[in-house]
Amino acid sequence: MSERSQTETLPVLVLAGGTVLDATGQRRADVLVRDGRVVEVAPTIDPPAGATVLDAGGALVGPGFVDLHAHLREPGGEEAETVETGARAGALGGYTALVAMPNTFPPIDSVEMVRAVRHLARGACTEVAVAATITEGRRGERLAPLAELAAAGVRVVTDDGAGVADAQLARRAFEYAAPFGLVVAEHCEDPALAAGGVAHEGEWSSLLGLAGIPAEAEEVMLARDLALAGRSGARFHALHVSTAGSLALLREARRRGVAVTAEVTPHHLALTDAAIAGFDPVYRVNPPLRPEADRRALVAAVAAGEVDAVATDHAPHARHAKEAPFAEAPPGMIGLETAFGVARGALAELPLDVLWGLLSWKPAAIAGLEARHGGPVAPGRPANLCVVDPEARWRVDPAAGASRSANTPYAGWELVGRARHTVLAGEVVVRDGEAQR
Amino acid sequence: MSAPDLAQSAPDRPLGASARRPSAPDRPTTVPDGGSDVGGRPRHLLSVAALSRGRLEELLALTEVFVEVAGRDIPRVPALRGRTVALCFFEDSTRTRLSFELAAKRLSADVVSFAAASSSLNKGESLRDTVETIDAMGVDLMVVRHRASGVPAQVSRWVRAGVVNAGDGWHEHPTQALLDCFTVRRALAARGRVQPGLEGLRIGIVGDVEHSRVARSDVAAFATLGAEVVVVSPPTLRPSSVGRWPARFTSALDPELPELDALYVLRLQRERMGSHVLPGLREYRACYGVDARRAAMLPPHAVVLHPGPMNRGVEIDAEVADSPRSLVLEQVASGVPARMAVLSWLAGGEHHRLTPSPVDAEAESGLGAGGGRSGV
């Protein structure tokens, strides 16, 4: 599509009757969108002839959400998810951009692979920022071509699914990545301490006879990476932080001036390891669900501003893969469509604009997407917006989701808060909770 | 927010405090009994931890009935006539499978058997597909053994049949616990030491507790029946968090011996030797091996149990295993009646069906020498 024809087909939109929310605050305002950009924000806007009016009454209108951590499974895992279906699930959750994790088959470890996945994302319901691996083939042996990847526009590199086990290689990755502005995102889990583990090592794994993953598996590698990243000057992002000990390590590192950001997932904020008592593999996830004390520590850390993003770790798995013994089922749960409602419920005391920041402008800045996503709702800005009804009550029906997979731990939950409309680059991709493409 | 089985952010209850709260104050149920029929009888036996003392006592009483049946000329009753029991052994096991098979046959059930090695699991079929297929054939009870913890609980959610856990991973082995309780109670009663339940007894369990389904079931059963349980193991073979275990934990065996009424010796898997968890065989033997010297430290009436198969010379010496203290053969003998109790309890074993019928007598005599009379 040429620039011209795209412009011709872009609609004029009025998001009417809502409260605009962004990093600058909240105000009652309508929003006029034309040619893919916000052109006016005012208390009342008369819809121009031919404009599409989106009802934002009783809802919040803000920059679209940005997920730092989505497994879209393509290529290689298309039975579980595709870029198209994952992005659709994201748009239904209010997201306008997803960082696609590179642990695909084959892994995204080259410029060619990055381009191939970007190609898959054309026409998708969200922007897809493709992350690449830190190491070639995600094997943890040699660095991937980080300079080339950075030059091709990659911003986040990660071997997610595993950390870089070799400390020397991790050190070199931080050092080598630093001048390119790459964010080195680590799945902190010491493979020897976690070996064979399928659940948090604690009272529940003990009673259930499940091999444990101790909190120290996360903390040992996080401590190592904080030391290495601090020395290199690289930008280090800690993926899915899940223990109180990790939070203490982050606090201490920040006092030393280490450039670190950290995300938490909605499921670690909302669930505990008690959920595994019935051996349902839907609750198997990495890092594992932790005890209540850790969950409370995460909630408190979010409230204290010590967490930089809420990220889903959306990890779809085909039904049959999860219908295996608990210890043999692949770890992971989906979360794009439920993220806002689950996080809102778990962080009930948190002001909504703070939560929105953790879902939108803060992760946008980490992922280098701030030019298009997460910015203020203001004239001239790209129209990547979502309209969220913070009081909408809805029941999670796994079968009704847009993801190709249904491995949600929230089946049957009544959530409060749901995206009503999502606007991507000036086009309506979700309207009244229905995907438009 | 509200949800069927997961506590959420009700104002008075923290989000995620969650899922299937323990039914007893500090003892979680693995699955809340798996649902009951109108008569209040559970449909499944998935874990001992989920059983009340009343239920355990009921099963022990029923075991006693079947011990009496085993002593009859024709040790067969029509309790499960017309019912089908499927033995689903996804993990090899000779003694448990034979024991369940004999138990089902003595209850006059039809028995079908499934072994993973010869199954369609090798053809890529999923666990759920496999068990649903067996279920669709119309079985009443599925006896499930699997190398992975929790599989019987998972299966119970997929099938119409009742499910009996015949050992799952490191999790539980409920029928072993039942036969152990029966055996130890009977033996100590004969030595003038017990009743009711296991009240007032001190039972030690020694060995690789972390990787033992027998330990998890037996600790729960002994404690539920009122015994004081002491678990002895090297720190590396002790579960990492034991706050919810109804037992006291220690790593020194000798100081405990003089106070024990029963010592339960766990099997030590050879692969633990010389790994990260244990230096070697000799050191284990020196610290935890139950030899004649240690047996002599027990009170005179104390008994020794082992779930088998024994590593003689490792966790237990022949002088002890073959001594009058040893209940190893009694344990095996109790296995069939205990499993008869469980199968009949779950699949509607009305007591009036415990008398042999003429048809059974005929069938039994037709079996000839293969019928078998005593409890293995």
Burial class of residue A257 in the structure, from the number of CB atoms within 10 Å of its CB (0-12 exposed, 13-18 middle, 19+ buried): exposed
For A209, which of B157, B170, B243 is closest by C-beta distance? Answer: B170
Three-state secondary structure readout of A297-316: HHHHHHHCCCCCEECCCECC
Residue B359 corresponds to which tokens in the numbers above? 């048809």
- Per-residue pLDDT band for A231 (boundaries 50, 70, 90) equals confident
> Are A13 and A423 a contacting pair, CB within 8 Å?
yes
Is A294 noted as a catalytic residue in this protein? no
**Domain B4-172+334-364 part of CATH 3.40.50.1370:** yes
Q: What is residue B271's predicted lDDT score, i.e. its pLDDT? A: 74
- Residue B50 CA to residue B43 CA, distance in Å, equals 13
Other beta carbons within 10 angstroms of residue A76's beta carbon come to 12
pLDDT digits (tens, 9 = 90+) for B257-304: 999 999 999 999 877 766 788 888 889 999 999 999 999 999 999 999
- Which residue on chain A is closest to B29 by alpha carbon? A277
Q: What is residue B374's predicted lDDT score, i.e. its pLDDT? A: 35
Asked, colleague to colleague, whether B4-172+334-364 and B174-330 share their fold, the answer is yes
Domain map (residue ranges) of chain B:
4-172+334-364, 174-330
Sequence-ordered alpha helix ranges (H) in chain B: 53-70, 95-106, 127-136, 151-158, 174-190, 213-224, 281-288, 292-297, 318-321, 328-346, 358-367
ipTM of the assembly?
0.92
Q: What is residue B370's predicted lDDT score, i.e. its pLDDT? A: 35
Average pLDDT over chain A, rounded to whole? 96
Whether residues A207 and B49 touch (CB distance < 8 A) is answered with: yes
Residue A280 touches partner B, C-beta closer than 8 Å: yes
Looking at chain B from residue 236 to 295, which residues have their Cβ under 8 Å from any Cβ of chain A? 239-245
Whether residues A206 and B240 touch (CB distance < 8 A) is answered with: yes
DSSP output for A317-358: --HHHHSS-GGGSPP-B--TTTHHHHHHHHTTTS-HHHHHHH
- Residue B136 CA to residue B129 CA, distance in Å, equals 10
Whether residues A202 and B172 touch (CB distance < 8 A) is answered with: no
Q: Which domains does chain A have, with CATH numbers?
A: 13-61+380-435 (2.30.40.10), 65-366 (3.20.20.140)
pLDDT of residue A39 exceeding 90? yes
Helix (H) / strand (E) containing A295 = helix A292-303
Residue B280 corresponds to which tokens in the numbers above? 């070697």
Helix (H) / strand (E) containing A85 = helix A83-92
Active-site annotation holder among A22, A313, A353, A432:
A313
- Residue A147 CA to residue A139 CA, distance in Å, equals 19
DSSP state of A143: B
pLDDT digits (tens, 9 = 90+) for B15-56: 333 333 333 333 333 444 444 443 567 899 999 999 999 999
Sheet bearing B303-305, strands edge to edge: B248-250, B228-232, B202-206, B262-265, B303-305
pLDDT digits (tens, 9 = 90+) for B88-138: 999 988 899 999 999 999 999 999 998 876 555 556 778 899 999 999 999
Residue A327 touches partner B, C-beta closer than 8 Å: yes
- Residue A429 CA to residue A33 CA, distance in Å, equals 14
Q: Which residues pair with B206 in a beta bridge?
A: B232, B265
pLDDT digits (tens, 9 = 90+) for B182-224: 999 999 999 888 667 799 999 999 999 999 999 999 999 999 9
A326 interaction partners in chain B (CB closer than 8 Å): 148-150, 154
Residue A180 corresponds to which tokens in the numbers above? 């390119």
A208 interaction partners in chain B (CB closer than 8 Å): 30, 149-150, 171
User: Looking at the domain that runs over B174-330, which CATH code has it been given?
Assistant: 3.40.50.1370
DSSP output for B8-50: ---TTS-TTT-SS--SBTTB--SSSTT-B-TTS-BS-B--STT
Burial class of residue A286 in the structure, from the number of CB atoms within 10 Å of its CB (0-12 exposed, 13-18 middle, 19+ buried): buried
DSSP state of A395: E
User: What does each C-alpha distance from A423 to A127, A354, A383, A384, B310 come to in angstroms?
Assistant: 11, 21, 7, 5, 68
Whether residues A413 and B1 touch (CB distance < 8 A) is answered with: yes
> Are A52 and A428 a contacting pair, CB within 8 Å?
yes
Whether residues B16 and A275 touch (CB distance < 8 A) is answered with: yes
Q: What is residue A220's predicted lDDT score, i.e. its pLDDT? A: 98
Residues in chain A: 437
- Which residue on chain B is closest to A346 by alpha carbon? B15
Of B317 and B358, the structure prediction assigns the larger pLDDT to B317
Residue B136 CB partners (closer than 8 Å, separation 6+): none
B154 interaction partners in chain A (CB closer than 8 Å): 279-281, 325-326
Residue A157 corresponds to which tokens in the numbers above? 């590199």
In chain A, what percentage of residues exceed pLDDT 90?
Answer: 97
Q: What is residue B197's predicted lDDT score, i.e. its pLDDT? A: 78
- Which residue on chain A is closest to B212 by alpha carbon? A209
